[in-house]
Amino acid sequence: NDLGDGTFAVGISDHAQEALGDIVFLESPDVGRQVQPEEAVAVVESVKAASDIYAPIAGEVVEINDALADTPEAVNGDPYGSWMFKIKAANAADVEALLSAADYDAQNA
């Protein structure tokens, strides 16, 4: 999710949260961590499985959503509103290759 200031909120899709089931734990990356596209940087655990969360773009982790540490189940109720961490893009042009939430949902319908 492009926040319009060179940072991007990262989370999971509605499709992913539905497939995972009830989310019980989130492991976030450290603020300041430099990440590369497709690098595993976080973990989401549900009653069914644990899954890696991959960085969609290169950049620096600038913020984590501390509220999700206490209420990881919020991702099930509002996956697009419950971002996990924010990345400051190393190259904003990388974002052009990403799918919007609507396009992603259409592919997985």
Q: Write out pLDDT tens, residues 54-75.
A: 998 899 999 999 999 899 999 9
As a whole number of angstroms, the distance between CA 23 and CA 34 comes to 26
Kindly report the pTM of this predicted structure.
Answer: 0.83
Q: How many CB atoms within 10 Å of residue 23?
A: 25
Banded model confidence at residue 80, pLDDT cuts 50, 70, 90: confident
Average pLDDT over residues 79-99: 83
Residue 104 class from Cβ within 10 Å (0-12 exposed, 13-18 middle, 19+ buried)? middle
